[in-house]
Amino acid sequence: MKKSFTRRHEDTKKGKVQPRSSSLRVFVSSCEIFGITLILAVLVVFMGGCDGGEEKMEMDRVVASVKEDAEKGDARAQYELGFAYATGIGAPKDQAKAFEWYQKAAEQGEVRAQGALAYMYKEGAGVSQNYVKAFEWLQKAAEQGDVRAQVALGDMYILGEGTPQDETKSFEWYQKAAMQGDTDSQFYIGKMYRRGEGVVKDEAKAAEWFEKAAVKDHFIAQYFLGEMYRDGQGVTKDLAQARKWFGKAAAQDYNPARKELKKLK
C-alpha cells in the first residue's frame, strides 16, 4: 500500500492542514517564466508603446519567427511554440499541439520541455494520462541537474507514481536538490533523517538540515528545530534556542509554535 503523501509532506498552519503544492506543477510554471521569447514579446508589446493593431502585428511577427525556427528543428523555439499553444499566448490554446512541440524539444534534451512533457503526461493534458511516461521524462530533466525536477522526482518515488515506491531513492533525489539549496528539500531531508526514512536515522544530521531550511524562514523547519533544542535531540538541550526557533515559527502565524512558546515562558 502506498504511504499517504498527506501524512508525509503536509503540515499544519493555524491548526489546519495546508496541502503542499505539486512540485511538478511548480517545476513547469517556474521553468516557463525565464528566458522565453514570447514572454519578452508580451512585455515589449504591452509596455513598450505598441497599441491597437500594432499589438497583434508585433505578436504575430514574434510567433511566426519562433514557428519558423521550431520547424527548422531549434529545440528552444520548439519549447517556446509549445508554451504558446499551452498558454494561449501568441497562439490559439491547444494542448495537443503544445504536447507535440514540447515532445520535439524534449527529445532534443530541452530540460524545460522535458518537465513540461512530464506534467502533461501526469495531468493528461493534450495526451492520455500516463504516470510512467511522466516519471521517465521527469527523470531525464532531473538527471540534467534541474533542481525543480529533482524535487518532483523525489515526490514521485515517495508516492510510488509511475515507479515502485522507494524511500531510499526519494531521499537521494531530495538530497541532490537540497545540495543545490532547495529549501523544501532541505526540510524533507531533515525530516527523513529524523524519522529514519530512506536513510539511517541520525538526529544530529536532521538538526543540521532543519537549520539550513529554518534560516531561510521555512516555518515548519523552525518549529522542528525548536522541538529538537527543547528535547536535546541531535543537539545540546538549549531552551533559549528552542524559544528562538519557536518564536520565529510563531511569527509566521504557526499556532503549534505559539503553544510551545507559551509553555517555555
Q: Look at 48 and 191; give whichever has higher pLDDT.
A: 191
Alpha-carbon distance of 169 to 171, in angstroms, equals 5
User: Structural domain of residue 264, as residue ranges?
Assistant: 181-265
Cell of 253: 502565524
Q: Are residues 220 and 134 in the same domain?
A: no
CATH code for position 4: 1.25.40.10
Q: Are residues 51 and 129 in the same domain?
A: yes
Q: Are residues 33 and 56 in the same domain?
A: yes
Q: Are residues 260 and 218 in the same domain?
A: yes
Q: Are residues 250 and 207 in the same domain?
A: yes
Q: Are residues 262 and 202 in the same domain?
A: yes
Alpha-carbon distance of 103 to 100, in angstroms, equals 5
pLDDT category at 265 given cuts 50, 70, 90 is: confident
Mean pLDDT computed over every residue of the chain: 84
Q: Are residues 27 and 62 in the same domain?
A: yes
Q: Are residues 89 and 212 in the same domain?
A: no
Cell of 237: 538541550
In a domain, 173, yes or no: no
Q: Name residues whose C-beta falls within 8 Å of residue 33's C-beta, 6 or more positions apart in sequence.
A: 39
Cell of 186: 532541505
Alpha-carbon distance of 105 to 67, in angstroms, equals 13
In a domain, 240, yes or no: yes
What confidence tens digit (pLDDT) does each residue in 211-247 have?
999 999 999 999 999 999 999 999 999 999 999 999 9
Q: Are residues 140 and 202 in the same domain?
A: no
Alpha-carbon distance of 57 to 45, in angstroms, equals 10
In a domain, 234, yes or no: yes
What confidence tens digit (pLDDT) does each residue in 81-99 have?
999 899 888 888 999 999 9
Contact 238, 229 (CB under 8 A): yes
Last residue of a domain, one of 107, 132, 167: 167
Q: Are residues 226 and 101 in the same domain?
A: no
Q: Is the pLDDT of residue 58 over 90?
A: no
In a domain, 197, yes or no: yes
Alpha-carbon distance of 119 to 138, in angstroms, equals 8
Last residue of a domain, one of 141, 167, 193: 167
Alpha-carbon distance of 97 to 87, in angstroms, equals 11
In a domain, 172, yes or no: no
Q: Is the pLDDT of residue 72 over 50?
A: yes
Q: What percent of the chain has pLDDT over 70?
A: 78
Q: Name residues whose C-beta falls within 8 Å of residue 43's C-beta, 6 or more positions apart in sequence.
A: none
Q: Look at 27 and 194; give whichever has higher pLDDT.
A: 194
What confidence tens digit (pLDDT) does each residue in 138-174 have?
999 999 999 989 999 999 999 999 999 999 999 999 9
In a domain, 176, yes or no: no
Q: Are residues 157 and 187 in the same domain?
A: no
Give the count of domains, the chain. 2
Last residue of a domain, one of 167, 196, 218: 167
Contact 100, 107 (CB under 8 A): no
In a domain, 174, yes or no: no
Identity of residue 45: V
In a domain, 106, yes or no: yes
Q: Are residues 262 and 155 in the same domain?
A: no
